[in-house]
């Protein structure tokens, strides 16, 4: 009986120990799944899967990068010279054009003659570039040169300035516009929220009567509790028209609007952390300052705020972290144009918003899907760094206190 | 009977008890006195292995209760603590009813059925001289009692599981003089059935309640003898100095 | 400027900033209550959306959110509490505990959309649950796990160790001590964590986008492998991509009001509980 009880206890304690590791396990799984899918992007060809690009064998071009391909098929580049070839006009050729040049009979039963016809077309035009399904690509034809496809490279992703994941023939996965959009919106949000939050934190820790604190603290807690989709909705129906009208902009969905909403959302974090830091200032320090004839306000900005500076820095870092990861509110108010941000008053798109907006349309396992997971990895790494640095910064305050 | 043989105890690198050897007879009251930090409480907590709860501690030597080394691997700590009850410096009743506080030890050790528990609870409360004061409010929260009553409740709680030894760590230091004298009377009565070891910083208390007294200083047992002798004619000068209030 | 005046100016500014924060809160809440209260009716709460979500009610979304709350709590609450117990009562202060604590903090700081990605990769695709209540609940459960662990830890640490030693000295085992003394005392504060996480779960959108939420699904779910609508996602949909955004605006206000009411009720309840029991523990 007693023995049985002891065994049962051991089992429960074992269970407790196992559950202690659950968060570590969760993080490990998140890392594994995110990076497994995300890094798959670098094994994807830079031309849409199952297709290839062919040129006339007289063309001296050996390879094209995704951006060049995209520009050619968008008619933004029209001369081979511009991409390193001879001075000749480029003739982009998409697969379906073949059906307007040849009748069904000429293409043969089950399109058996299609590759042959395609090679005729390519042979006829020395300046052509054809985007063809691999299935019908002419093989072993002297007149046709198939351009080698390369896998998407780190440089394409991390250095790319365009995010066009659904472009054909060559989708572009450039991180920069999204990363800059994210930082742009978040940092500006903190610039708005910091003075405000710091002021409220000073008020709460130094000036507020118990009564006022009892009223303000729950208000801040409520502000932290409002779901982000409600902030987004509020931003959409109130701030967007407001920003558009008062600043006389063509659209109200701008980086600035996103920053405003994020500033409100980051306020509770900044206030709470900064207030805690200031409350930790030793009484003796304040009294020493007051005893030397400093006013309360001088004591605050000459003693309390400097003493709490690392706590305040931690508050800023945590606020930035919260803003960088915020999804729904930003998705709803920034307009989501995936271009390099130029001004605060233009539409931008952030990393989380991109994931939320595009994952639903990206077929599982495809390059687009993988690219969104890679964005997730970037987000994960950034927020990890943020949370670790916040921890390091606030630790420093404690050691300074000793 | 309790016997310590060359007990050494360390908190990390700090050598808290140095070569303690002593015997405590059954049905006596033994008091430990000494300046704070001298190791008297640490030694008391060795007797029911309460120090096991503190990380990074280490014991060398032997401690025997009725001939059995309580630090032997075969000893189950909870069984030992059932036999060696303890009362703490500050009363620490659980946030439960008076009845449930006393019944707690019986329940966790699965001792007896309902009627047995009810009987034991009354018996223990009588034993701790608390029954008359609380018999009409057994269902009330233990926090409604006064400090002295709470401490006697903690004694009743310890008595309920029929220990043979009762350890008391400054049991009256948080109490007023009237409650203190009640606890002291109680100790005198309890001596008939239990072996009592008490730590106290109050020398008069040690003189009043104990049969034998041990004087600790800086982790060493300086002197251990009959209480009368200790207070009238101690062997060591250190003891004399402490008792006459020259330091500590 | 003399130092007395500068103090006056500064303090006045801080007071105004404090007022501003309260003002922002009332602006947001007032706006949504003012515009949403008109549409709230018994019918709105108990019927399915009609006519391309421009009319009718939001019952499926309420039920869906309820399912997700129950599902994730069933998963995360026991696990989180057990983990918290391990951290406070069992774990020795070594590098393992430090690692676990860092991991818990970090899990809490991961953006919710990343949980969505992870939930989709693991629960929806790898484990083959598809878009379903179970996939969504597990994802949301992971999201609130750090919150539950942290409140449990704090609740347990607030119990003075004298109660533990008191119980151990009576021959109780460690587990008996935790079950009979420590947990009952810490319970109210642990429940606070539970209530807070219910509020959090009901409001989260990004984690359920790809794991459970349905754009439009007037049926109620039959099993844990069904998709459901959910309040926050429904609000997102009718605010940004409904069939007729202008016509469905009143419904959007109503949905936002219901959502905010649930979340704020939970937060206020948790806050009150904490303050009430916080006082009670101190007076003992």
Chain C nearest C-alpha distance from A249 (Å) = 20
Residues A128 and A267 in one domain: no
C165 touches chain B (CB under 8 A): yes
Domain boundaries, chain B: 2-243
Chain C: list its partners (3+ Cβ pairs within 8 Å): A, B
Cis-peptide, bond into residue C106, ω within 30° of zero: no
Assess C118–A contact: CB distance below 8 Å, yes or no: yes
Question: What counts of helices (H) and strands (E) characterise chain A?
Answer: 19, 6
Q: Which C residues, 230 through 259, put their C-beta within 8 Å of a C-beta on chain B? A: none
Residue among C169, C180, C284 whose CB faces B85 most closely:
C169
The two tokens of residue C121 are 């990769």
On whether residue A122 sits in a domain, the answer given is yes
A74 and A183 housed in the same domain: no
Helix (H, G, I), strand (E, B) or coil at A110: helix
Q: Is the same domain home to A326 and A370? A: yes
- CB–CB contact A328 C252 (8 Å): no
The pLDDT of residue C282 is above 50: no
CA–CA distances in Å: residue A112 to residues A135, A186, A369, C139: 11, 57, 34, 50
To test the contact with chain C by mutation, choose from A21, A30, A392 the residue with the greatest count of C C-beta atoms within 10 A, namely: A30
Q: Which of C3, C20, C145 sits opposite A23 (nearest CB)?
A: C145
Check: CB of residue C240 under 8 Å from CB of residue A332: yes
Q: Distance, in angstroms, between C182 CA and closest chain B CA? A: 9
User: Residues 131 to 160 of C: which have CB under 8 A from any A CB?
Assistant: 142, 145-146, 149
Any chains having at least 3 CB pairs less than 8 A from chain A are C
Residue from C96, C161, C170, C182 to probe the interface with B (highest B Cβ count within 10 Å): C170
| Alpha carbons B150 and B131: distance in angstroms, whole number | 12
pLDDT at B81 over 50: yes
Number of H helices, E strands in chain C: 12, 2
**Cα separations in angstroms, C165 against B51, B89, C35:** 10, 12, 57
Question: Residue B107: its chain C contacts at CB < 8 A?
Answer: 180
pLDDT tens digit sequence for A237-248: 999 999 999 988
Distance of CA A324 to the CA centre of its chain: 8
- Which of A6, A12, A19 to mutate: most C Cβ within 10 Å? A19
Same domain, residue pair A252 and A146: no
Chains that contact B by 3+ CB pairs under 8 Å? C
* B90 chain-C contacts, CB cut-off 8 A: 162
Tell me: pLDDT of C283 over 60: no
CA A222 to chain centre: 28
Of A207, A215, A325, the CB nearest to C14: A207
Give the contacts of C124 (CB within 8 A, at least 6 positions apart).
C130, C131, C132, C135, C210, C211
Which of B48, B55, B93 lies closest to C92 in CB terms?
A: B55
Q: Which of C88, C166, C177 to mutate to test the interface with B (most CBs of B within 10 A)?
A: C166
CB-CB under 8 Å, C199 with A225? yes
What is the architecture of the domain spanning C42-283?
A: Orthogonal Bundle (1.10)
Q: Assess whether A230 and A118 both reside in one domain.
A: no
Closest to C210 measured CA to CA, from C151, C149, C125: C125
% of residues, chain B, pLDDT over 70: 99
Enclosing H/E stretch for C282: helix C249-283
Contact B96, B36 (CB under 8 A): no
Helices (H), chain B: 40-46, 77-83, 98-108, 114-127, 131-134, 147-160, 177-190, 203-209, 227-232, 237-243
pLDDT at A400 over 70: no
Option in C160, C164, C171 nearest B108 (CB): C171
Q: Report the pLDDT averaged over residues C265-269.
A: 88
How many domains, chain A? 2
pLDDT band at A397 (very low <50, low <70, confident <90, very high): low
The β-bridge partners of A164 are A172
A161 in a domain, yes or no?
no
Give A291's pLDDT tier (boundaries 50, 70, 90): confident
What's the whole-number mean pLDDT along residues B98-111?
A: 90
Please check the confidence at residue B93 and state whether its pLDDT lies above 60: yes
pLDDT at residue B246 in the model: 63
* pLDDT at residue C194 tops 80: yes
In a domain, A37, yes or no: no
pLDDT tens digits, residue range B183-229?
Answer: 898 888 888 889 999 999 888 889 989 999 999 999 999 999 999 99
Is C106's Cβ below 8 Å from some Cβ in B? no
What is the pLDDT, as a whole number, of residue B245? 76
**Is residue A71 assigned to a domain?**
yes
Task: Give a yes or no: residue A116 inside a domain.
Answer: yes
Question: What is the average pLDDT across A296-324?
Answer: 89
Residue A57 lies in a domain: yes
Query: Above 80 in pLDDT, residue C279?
Result: no
| pLDDT class of B10 with cuts at 50, 70, 90 | very high
Domain shared by A140 and A199, yes or no = no
Please state the three-class secondary structure of B135-171 as a single string: CCCCCCEHHHCCHHHHHHHHHHHHHHCCCCEEEEECC
A143-147, A306-310, C127-131, C187-191: segment of lowest average pLDDT: A143-147
Q: Report whether pLDDT(C277) > 80.
A: no
The Cβ of residue B48 has, within 10 Å, a number of other Cβ atoms equal to 25
Q: Looking at the predicted structure, is the pLDDT value of residue A106 above 80?
A: no
- The average pLDDT across A311-320 equals 90
Q: pLDDT per residue over A85-101, tens digit each? A: 778 888 888 887 878 78
Distance CA B213, CA B225 (A): 6
Whether the full predicted model's pTM is greater than 0.95, yes or no, is no
Inter-chain Cβ pairs, chain A and chain C, closer than 8 A: 245
Whether A114 and A107 have beta carbons less than 8 Å apart is answered as yes
Instruction: Identify whether residues A92 and A217 lie together within a single domain.
Output: no
Q: What is the pLDDT of residues B110-137, one digit of tens each?
A: 888 889 999 999 999 998 889 999 999 9
Q: What is the mean pLDDT of chain B?
A: 89
**pLDDT band at residue B248, thresholds of 50, 70 and 90?**
very low
Report the pLDDT value the prediction gives residue B213, as an integer from 0 to 100.
93
CB atoms < 10 A from the CB of A148, how many?
Answer: 12
Average pLDDT, chain C: 89
What pLDDT was estimated at residue A77? 81
Share of chain A above pLDDT 90, in %: 32
Q: Please enumerate, as own/partner, the contacts of C61-64 that have beta carbons within 8 Å and a separation of 24 or more.
A: C61/C229, C61/C230, C61/C231, C61/C233, C61/C234, C61/C255, C62/C231, C62/C258, C63/C220, C63/C221, C63/C228, C64/C133, C64/C212, C64/C213, C64/C214, C64/C221, C64/C228, C64/C229, C64/C230, C64/C231
Query: Which residues of chain C from 178 to 207 reach within 8 Å of chain A, CB to CB?
Result: 199, 202-206
Given CB atoms, is C162 within the 8 Å cutoff of chain B? yes
Higher pLDDT, A386 or B248: A386
* Percent of chain B residues past pLDDT 90, beyond the cut: 48
Contacts of A126 (CB under 8 A, 6+ apart): A56, A58, A59, A88
A230-281 pLDDT, tens digit each: 999 999 999 999 999 998 888 889 999 999 999 999 999 999 999 998 988 8
- A36 in any annotated domain: no
- CA dist B28 → A120, B188, C224 (Å): 115, 9, 68
Query: What is the structure's pLDDT at A402?
Result: 37
**Which pLDDT tens digit goes with each residue over C218-240?**
888 888 899 899 999 999 998 88
In chain C, what residues touch A380 (CB-CB under 8 Å)? 110, 114
User: What is the predicted pLDDT for the residue at C280?
Assistant: 56
Of B53, B94, B105, the CB nearest to C171: B105
Q: C103: which 2 tokens?
A: 């991991």
* Residues A81, A223 within the same domain: no
pLDDT at residue C94 above 90? no
Q: Say if CB C120 and CB C215 are below 8 A apart.
A: no
Question: In this complex, do B85 and C170 lie within 8 Å of one another by their Cβ atoms?
Answer: yes
Nearest by CB: C180 against B85, B90, B108 = B108
Q: What is the mean pLDDT of chain A?
A: 86
Host H or E run for residue A145: strand A144-146
The CA-atom distances, in angstroms, between A337 and each of A324, A351, C125 are: 17, 12, 30
Sorted by where each begins, the domain ranges of chain C are 42-283
Choose the closest CB to A264 out of C24, C85, C111: C24
List the one residue out of B82, B196, B193 whose CA is nearest residue B183: B196
Name A163's bridge partners. Answer: A173
- Interface check C282 vs A, CB under 8 A: no
Sheet holding B165-169, edge to edge: B84-87, B165-169, B195-199, B29-33, B212-217, B220-226
- Residue whose tokens read 């909870």: B78
Chain B residue numbers touching C164 (CB-CB < 8 A)? 53
Show the DSSP H helices in A280-333 as ranges. Answer: 283-291, 296-299, 305-307, 309-325, 328-333
pLDDT of residue C1: 62
Minimal CA separation from A15 to chain C, in Å = 8
Residues on B contacting C at a C-beta cutoff of 8 Å? 48, 50, 53, 55, 78-79, 81-82, 85-86, 88, 90, 92-95, 104-105, 107-109, 143, 154, 157-158, 161
Check whether A110 has a pLDDT greater than 60: yes
> Which residue on chain C is closest to A198 by alpha carbon?
C14
Do A181 and A328 belong together in one domain?
yes
In B, minimum Cα distance to C179 occurs at: B108
Q: How many residues does chain C have?
A: 284
Tell me B216's DSSP state: E
- In 3-state terms, chain B is what percent helix, strand and coil (to 5)? 40, 25, 35
The residue whose two tokens read 């050996």 is A62
CATH architecture of the domain covering B2-243: 3-Layer(aba) Sandwich (3.40)
% of chain C beyond a pLDDT of 90: 55
**pLDDT confidence of residue A165:** 85
Q: Dump pLDDT digits (tens) for A8-46.
A: 888 999 999 899 888 889 999 999 999 999 998 888 887
Query: Given an 8 Å threshold on Cβ–Cβ distance, is A380 in contact with C110?
Result: yes
* Residue from C25, C117, C128, C180 to probe the interface with A (highest A Cβ count within 10 Å): C117
C164 to chain B, closest Cα gap in Å: 9
Of the pLDDT bands very low, low, confident and very high (cuts 50, 70, 90), residue A139 is confident
A16 contact residues in C (CB cutoff 8 A): 82-83, 85-86, 89-90
Is there a single domain that holds both residue A226 and residue A88? no
The H or E element containing residue B85 is strand B84-87
Total residue length of chain A = 402
Q: How close does chain C come to B116, measured CA to CA in Å?
A: 18
Interface pTM, i.e. ipTM: 0.91
Which conformational region is residue B156 in: left (phi greater than 0), alpha (psi within -120 to 50 degrees), or beta?
A: alpha
Residues of the domain holding A373:
176-401
Q: Do C168 and B53 touch (CB under 8 A)?
A: yes
Answer yes or no: is A33 within a domain: no
Whether A145 and A183 map to the same domain: the answer is no
Mark yes or no for CB contact B85/C173 under 8 Å. Answer: no
């Amino acid at each position: 009986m007693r023995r049985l009880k002891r065994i049962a206890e051991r089992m429960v304690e074992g269970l407790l120990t196992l559950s202690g590791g659950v968060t570590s396990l969760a993080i490990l799984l998140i890392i594994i799944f995110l990076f497994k899918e995300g890094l798959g992007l670098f094994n994807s060809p830079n031309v849409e899967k199952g297709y290839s690009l062919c040129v006339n064998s007289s063309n001296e071009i050996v390879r094209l990068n995704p951006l060049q391909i995209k520009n050619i098929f968008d008619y933004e580049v029209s001369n081979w010279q511009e991409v390193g070839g001879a001075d000749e006009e480029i003739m982009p050729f998409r697969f379906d054009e073949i059906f307007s040049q040849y009748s069904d009979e000429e293409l043969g039963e089950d399109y058996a003659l299609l590759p042959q016809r395609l090679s005729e077309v390519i042979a006829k035009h020395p300046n052509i570039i054809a985007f063809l399904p691999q299935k019908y690509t002419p093989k072993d034809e002297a007149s046709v040169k198939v351009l080698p496809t390369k896998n998407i490279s780190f440089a394409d992703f991390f250095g790319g300035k365009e995010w066009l994941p659904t472009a054909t023939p060559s989708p572009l996965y450039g991180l920069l516009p999204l990363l800059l959009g994210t930082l742009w919106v978040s940092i500006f949000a903190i610039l708005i929220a910091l003075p405000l939050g710091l002021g409220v934190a000073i008020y709460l820790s130094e000036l507020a009567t118990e009564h006022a604190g009892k009223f303000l603290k729950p208000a801040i807690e409520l502000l932290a509790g409002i779901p982000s989709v409600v902030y987004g909705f509020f931003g959409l129906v109130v701030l967007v028209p407001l920003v558009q009208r008062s600043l006389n902009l063509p659209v109200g969905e701008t980086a600035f609007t996103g920053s405003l909403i994020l500033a409100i959302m980051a306020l509770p974090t900044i206030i709470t952390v900064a207030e805690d830091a200031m409350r930790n200032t030793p009484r003796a320090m304040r009294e020493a300052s007051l005893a030397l004839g400093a006013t309360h306000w001088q004591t605050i900005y000459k003693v309390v705020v400097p003493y709490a500076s690392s706590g305040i820095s931690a508050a800023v870092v945590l606020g930035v972290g919260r803003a960088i990861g915020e999804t729904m509110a930003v998705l709803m108010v920034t307009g989501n144009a995936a271009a390099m941000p130029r001004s605060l008053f233009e539409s931008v798109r952030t990393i989380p918003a991109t994931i939320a907006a595009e994952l639903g349309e990206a077929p599982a396992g495809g390059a687009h899907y993988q690219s969104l997971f890679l964005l997730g990895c970037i987000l994960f790494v950034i927020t990890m760094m943020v949370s670790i640095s916040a921890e390091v910064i606030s630790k420093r305050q404690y050691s300074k206190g000793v | 009977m309790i016997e310590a043989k060359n007990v050494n105890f360390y908190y990390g690198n700090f050598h808290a008890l140095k070569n303690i050897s002593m015997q405590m007879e059954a049905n006596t009251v033994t008091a430990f006195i000494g300046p704070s930090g001298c190791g008297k409480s640490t030694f008391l907590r060795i007797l029911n292995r309460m120090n096991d709860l503190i990380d990074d501690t280490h014991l060398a030597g032997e401690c025997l209760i009725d001939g059995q080394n309580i630090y032997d691997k075969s000893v189950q700590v909870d069984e030992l603590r059932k036999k060696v009850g303890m009362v703490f410096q500050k009363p620490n009743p659980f946030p439960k009813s008076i009845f449930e506080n006393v019944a707690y030890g019986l329940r966790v050790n699965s001792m007896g059925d309902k009627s047995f528990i009810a009987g034991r609870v009354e018996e223990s409360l009588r034993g701790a001289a608390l029954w008359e004061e609380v018999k009409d409010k057994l269902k009330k929260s233990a926090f409604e009692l006064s400090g002295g009553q709470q401490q006697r409740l903690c004694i009743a709680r310890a008595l309920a599981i029929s220990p043979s030894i009762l350890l008391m760590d400054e049991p009256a230091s948080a109490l007023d003089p009237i409650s203190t004298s009640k606890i002291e009377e109680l100790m005198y009565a309890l001596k008939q059935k239990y072996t009592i070891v008490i730590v106290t910083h109050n020398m008069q208390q040690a003189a009043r309640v104990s049969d034998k007294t041990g004087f600790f200083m800086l982790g060493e047992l300086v002197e251990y003898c009959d209480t009368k002798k200790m207070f009238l004619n101690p062997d060591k000068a250190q003891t004399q100095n402490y008792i006459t209030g020259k330091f500590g | 400027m003399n130092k007395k005046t500068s103090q006056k100016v500064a303090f006045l500014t801080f007071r105004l900033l404090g007022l501003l924060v309260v003002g922002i809160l009332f602006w947001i809440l007032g706006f949504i209550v003012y515009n949403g209260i008109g549409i709230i009716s018994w019918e709105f709460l108990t019927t399915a959306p009609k006519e391309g979500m421009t009319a009718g009610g939001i019952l499926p979304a309420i039920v869906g959110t309820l399912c997700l709350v129950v599902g994730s709590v069933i998963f995360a609450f026991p696990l989180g509490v057990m983990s918290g117990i391990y951290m406070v009562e069992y774990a020795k202060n070594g590098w393992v505990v430090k690692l676990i604590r860092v991991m818990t903090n970090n899990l809490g700081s991961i953006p919710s959309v990343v949980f969505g990605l992870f939930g989709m990769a693991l629960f929806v695709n790898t484990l083959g649950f598809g878009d379903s209540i179970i996939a969504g609940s597990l994802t949301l459960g992971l999201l609130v796990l750090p919150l539950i662990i942290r409140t449990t830890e704090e609740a347990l640490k607030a119990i003075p160790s004298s109660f533990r030693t008191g119980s151990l000295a009576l021959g109780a085992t460690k587990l008996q001590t935790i079950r009979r003394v420590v947990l009952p005392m810490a319970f109210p504060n642990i429940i606070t964590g539970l209530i807070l996480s219910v509020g959090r779960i009901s409001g989260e959108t990004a984690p359920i986008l790809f794991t459970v939420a349905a754009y439009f699904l007037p049926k109620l779910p039959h099993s844990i492998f069904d998709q459901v609508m959910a309040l926050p996602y429904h609000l997102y949909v009718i605010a940004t991509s409904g069939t007729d955004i202008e016509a469905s605006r009143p419904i959007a206000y109503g949905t936002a009001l219901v959502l905010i009411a649930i979340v704020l009720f939970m937060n206020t309840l948790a806050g009150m509980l904490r303050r009430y029991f916080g006082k009670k523990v101190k007076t003992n």
